[in-house]
């Protein structure tokens, strides 16, 4: 079998690159393994006493709950979570991070230049429900439009996206939860990948249509339209009214044409889900290289999933561009600690069972891989959930780790493309921003060929350099921005992944 990987000189664990059989000694020493251990899992490369730190990638990932001998399997049976030390060295690596920005000539992609100066990678018409009560209406309207053949006359329109959700009423009419939903709905309605939007409400809900209309501004009904089921005459009448309006605006939306646009216009959302022991070795650091290339072009790379950088936030804080940026991220970390404690949970509730089967033991270990998606450049800004991203460079957005909720916030913030790494496998897709999926291993790439756009497993199996794989991901980002169809788009995924973050009492 291939030699286990020791990822940092300070590590006392190594990662198996192939399954080890019962009775094997993967390091050539220590007691034989009492049972098989899967690839991606850890074995001790040095003896670790009970209570001692378990170290991977040079960082603390847990505490030994029993004495661990050389060559023994290290996982949840003998390694436990402990809150990390939070002695932050804010900005200590900022100069190094500035120097890490690649030098490259400016590039372009073929995008849709919008009236507000932003650039789209797709051209959708969006139907936006302000409340769950109008969810079925917009879904039926979208389905009837898609099946009618009307869109065949307008090939430059990518389709109708029905943004339905489960909230909008039974909630407070002010406060953080209300503000988040407002930002999400308006962020999707005005997204650069959307050419026109129809808002649909019931009429009596907390999130009133008038709230959306108050945002319209000079664009007015040229790009935005609003109606309620109660005022329009009921379900069938509303479906027909939506269809009539879409038929009316389709010729104008279809006039949008792709033209050369600078890569600096891109906002790329960074995601990982169904992670495994290879995520921190292959796909995530390769995406980090691609993120650095996006930053070098003047674009934005949006790192998110606050519970999934827990324990690795110090690596981001060391390259924070200012004390204000750092303090905002620390405040978000503290909020999550309090939030989980109030609900009787723990920050170590994540990783999921699938993550653990893939070799990830604690959230601290998972976070090291998740944070590596952010590359090596300075952390320029920190945003609240669904807040519009305006800063170039690596930025952070506060979101849950749950992929649909996280991506919904990133797209609301303006991300025109999502890059999603996965080790266990994911059937995720998103609209109106397409998702590119990157497999961490050859096994997964071969197992789910209809879902995976790129294979990062050849970093291990064929010795492909991280820099080369990162450039490959960057090139695919550029191609997808210009219209190349992703695997998730070809499968029709993304219609049910619009999930706004709900905070506050459901009343």
Q: Is 474 helix (H, G, I), strand (E, B) or coil?
A: helix
Enumerate the H helices of 372-483 as residue ranges: 403-412, 442-447, 458-461, 466-481
User: Which helix (H) or strand (E) is 34 found in, with range?
Assistant: none
Question: For the ranges 204-213, 343-352, 400-409, which has the lowest average pLDDT?
Answer: 343-352
Q: Please compute Rg for the chain using Cα positions.
A: 24
Strands 259-262 and 59-64, sheet pairing:
unpaired
Instruction: Give the model's confidence band at 344: pLDDT under 50 very low, under 70 low, under 90 confident, else very high.
Output: confident
Residue 244: its pLDDT value, please?
Answer: 98
- Identify whether the C-beta of residue 439 lies closer than 8 Å to the C-beta of residue 445: yes
| Cα gap 152→89, rounded to integer Å | 57
Q: Flag whether pLDDT at 84 surpasses 80.
A: no
Instruction: Give the model's confidence band at 218: pLDDT under 50 very low, under 70 low, under 90 confident, else very high.
Output: confident
**Dihedral sign computed on CA atoms, order 286, 292, 294, 300:** positive
Q: Which fold has domain 124-254?
A: Rossmann fold (3.40.50)
DSSP for residue 439:
E
Residue 87: its pLDDT value, please?
Answer: 80
Encoded tokens for 244: 């009539």
Characterize 323-340 residue by residue with b for buried, 16 or more Cβ atoms within 10 angstroms of its Cβ, and e for exposed. eebbebbbebbeebbeeb
pTM, two decimals, is 0.96
Question: For the ranges 253-262, 357-366, 435-444, which has the lowest average pLDDT?
Answer: 357-366
Instruction: Give the model's confidence band at 345: pLDDT under 50 very low, under 70 low, under 90 confident, else very high.
Output: confident
- CA 112 to chain centroid, in Å, comes to 23
Better pLDDT: 82 or 230: 230
| Cα gap 306→200, rounded to integer Å | 32
Query: How confident is the model over 76-93, as a mean pLDDT?
Result: 89
- Identify whether the C-beta of residue 80 lies closer than 8 Å to the C-beta of residue 52: no
Token pair 């065949």 is at which residue?
A: 152
- Identify whether the C-beta of residue 131 lies closer than 8 Å to the C-beta of residue 169: yes
Token pair 């429900």 is at which residue?
A: 129
Query: How confident is the model over 63-85, as a mean pLDDT?
Result: 93
Residues 6+ away with beta carbon under 8 Å from 344:
none
User: Which helix (H) or strand (E) is 193 found in, with range?
Assistant: none
Instruction: Give the model's confidence band at 220: pLDDT under 50 very low, under 70 low, under 90 confident, else very high.
Output: low
Residue 115: its pLDDT value, please?
Answer: 93
Residue/partner pairs of 73-79 with CB below 8 Å, 24 or more apart: 73/33, 73/37, 73/41, 73/42, 73/43, 74/13, 74/41, 74/42, 74/43, 74/44, 74/48, 74/361, 75/41, 75/42, 75/356, 75/359, 75/361, 76/356, 76/361, 76/362, 79/54, 79/361, 79/362
- Identify whether the C-beta of residue 481 lies closer than 8 Å to the C-beta of residue 111: yes
| Cα gap 155→144, rounded to integer Å | 17
Q: Flag whether pLDDT at 180 surpasses 70.
A: yes
| Cα gap 84→95, rounded to integer Å | 26
**Strand (E) positions, 246-356?**
259-262, 267-272, 300-303
- Write out pLDDT tens, residues 257-292: 999 999 999 999 999 999 999 999 999 999 999 999
- CA 249 to chain centroid, in Å, comes to 32
Instruction: Give the model's confidence band at 397: pLDDT under 50 very low, under 70 low, under 90 confident, else very high.
Output: very high
CATH number, span 1-80 = 2.30.130.110
Token pair 């590596």 is at which residue?
A: 372
Please state the domain extents for the chain: 1-80, 94-101+261-491, 124-254
Bridge partner list, 382: 396
Encoded tokens for 233: 């005459």
| Cα gap 414→300, rounded to integer Å | 10
| CA separation, residue 384 to residues 5, 159, 239, 409 (Å) | 37, 30, 35, 9
Question: How many residues would you count in the chain?
Answer: 507
Residue 85: its pLDDT value, please?
Answer: 72
User: Which helix (H) or strand (E) is 367 found in, with range?
Assistant: helix 363-371
Question: For the ranges 157-161, 344-348, 394-398, which has the lowest average pLDDT?
Answer: 344-348
| Cα gap 302→413, rounded to integer Å | 9
Q: Flag whether pLDDT at 221 surpasses 70.
A: no
Enumerate the H helices of 161-304 as residue ranges: 176-189, 209-213, 220-223, 229-232, 235-254, 283-296
Q: Flag whether pLDDT at 489 surpasses 90.
A: yes
Bridge partner list, 383: 397
Question: For the ranges 65-79, 348-362, 435-449, which has the lowest average pLDDT?
Answer: 348-362
């Amino acid at each position: 079998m291939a030699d286990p990987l020791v990822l940092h000189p300070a590590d006392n664990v190594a990662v198996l690159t192939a399954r080890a059989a019962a009775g094997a000694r993967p390091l050539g020493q220590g007691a034989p393994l009492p049972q098989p251990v899967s690839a991606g899992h850890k074995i001790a490369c040095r003896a670790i006493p009970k209570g001692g730190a378990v170290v991977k990638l040079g960082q603390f990932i847990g505490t030994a709950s029993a004495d661990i001998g050389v060559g023994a399997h290290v996982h949840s049976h003998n390694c436990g979570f402990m809150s990390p030390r939070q002695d932050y060295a804010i900005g200590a690596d900022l100069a190094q991070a500035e120097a890490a920005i690649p030098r490259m000539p400016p590039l372009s992609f073929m995008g849709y230049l919008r009236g507000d100066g932003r650039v789209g990678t797709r051209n959708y018409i969006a139907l936006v429900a302000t409340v769950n009560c109008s969810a079925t209406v917009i879904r039926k309207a979208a389905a009837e439009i898609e099946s009618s053949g009307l869109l065949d006359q307008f090939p430059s329109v990518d389709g109708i996206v029905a943004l339905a959700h489960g909230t909008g009423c039974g909630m407070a009419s002010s406060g953080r939860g209300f503000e988040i939903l407002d930002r999400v709905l308006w962020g999707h309605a005005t997204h650069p990948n959307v050419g026109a939007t129809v808002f649909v409400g019931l009429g009596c809900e907390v999130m009133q249509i008038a709230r959306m209309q108050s945002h319209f501004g000079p664009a007015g009904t040229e790009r935005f339209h609003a109606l309620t089921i109660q005022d329009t005459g009921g379900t069938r009448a509303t479906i027909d009214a939506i269809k009539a309006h879409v038929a009316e605006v389709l010729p104008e939306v279809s006039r949008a044409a792709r033209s050369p646009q600078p890569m600096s216009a891109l906002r790329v959302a960074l995601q990982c889900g169904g992670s495994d022991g290879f995520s921190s070795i292959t796909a995530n650091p390769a995406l980090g290289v691609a993120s650095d290339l996006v930053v070098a072009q003047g674009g934005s790379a949006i790192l998110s999933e606050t519970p999934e950088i827990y324990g690795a936030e110090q690596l981001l804080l060391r390259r924070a561009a200012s004390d204000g940026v750092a303090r905002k991220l620390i405040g978000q970390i503290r909020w999550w600690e309090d939030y989980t404690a109030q609900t009787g949970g723990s920050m170590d509730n994540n990783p999921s069972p699938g993550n653990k089967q893939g070799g990830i033991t604690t959230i601290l270990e998972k976070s090291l891989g998740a944070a590596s998606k952010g590359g090596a450049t300075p952390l320029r800004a920190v945003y609240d959930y669904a807040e519009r991203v305006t800063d170039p460079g690596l930025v952070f957005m506060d979101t849950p780790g749950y992929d649909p909720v996280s991506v919904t916030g990133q797209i609301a913030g303006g991300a025109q493309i999502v890059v999603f790494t996965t080790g266990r496998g994911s059937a995720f897709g998103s609209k109106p921003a397409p998702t590119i999926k990157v497999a961490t291993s050859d096994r997964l790439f071969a197992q789910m060929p209809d879902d995976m756009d790129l294979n990062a497993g050849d970093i291990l199996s064929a010795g492909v350099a991280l820099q080369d794989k990162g450039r490959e991901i960057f090139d695919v980002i550029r191609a997808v921005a210009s219209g190349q169809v992703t695997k998730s788009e070809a499968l029709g995924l993304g219609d049910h992944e619009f999930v706004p973050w709900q905070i506050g009492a459901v009343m």
